[in-house]
Amino acid sequence: MAQEQLLPLSSSSSQDPLRPGTYQSLLPIVDEILSILHAQTVSPEKLSPAQASEQVAPKAKELAQVLESMKLSAMSLPGAHLSIEEINSLTGILEKEGEERRQILRTFELLDLPIVDDFSLPGAETRAMGTHAFPSPNK
């Protein structure tokens, strides 16, 4: 039954790797596997290796399917194909570009630019930068 639940999960995870439920805890499956193995060693009625194998194999297969599904989902995340060096390089480039843009904004902040309200006053064209600074629809 758990495998039936995984099939829709794996097919939809390639479409949206951030969909809730795409990534799930592996601990319950690992706990079941360890419980089976533990029961084999401490149980008064010893399980044969074949019986233990029959019980562990489906759980191990389920664990492998869940891991593969989550791996595929993780690889379909934007940028998941990049190495750590490439990510660090892109981060540096983006930080540099961000700092350049902040510097441009600081420069504009220091400029003495006319306020929009000043343009509504009579004679504003001559006090501001002149009419040549404004685009003309006739040109």
What's the mean pLDDT in 21-47? 84
- In this prediction, residue 121 has a pLDDT band, given cuts at 50, 70 and 90, of low
* CA neighbor of 19 nearest in space, from 69, 59, 80: 69
The per-residue b/e assignment along 53-76, b for 16 or more CB within 10 angstroms, e otherwise, is eebbeebbebeebbeebbeebeeb
What's the mean pLDDT in 102-120? 79
pTM: 0.48
- In this prediction, residue 96 has a pLDDT band, given cuts at 50, 70 and 90, of very high
Do residues 87 and 27 touch, judged by C-beta distance below 8 A? Answer: no
| Res. 49: pLDDT tops 80 | no
CA torsion through residues 114, 116, 121, 125, sign: positive
- In this prediction, residue 136 has a pLDDT band, given cuts at 50, 70 and 90, of low
Where are any strands of DSSP class E within 47-86? none
Ramachandran region of residue 108, left (φ > 0), alpha (ψ -120 to 50) or beta? Answer: alpha
* Tokens read off for 63: 């664990």
* Tokens read off for 83: 């190495």
> Which residue's structure tokens are 């570009």?
97
What is the model's pLDDT at position 97?
Answer: 97
Provide, rounded to the nearest whole percent, the portion of the chain with pLDDT above 90.
31
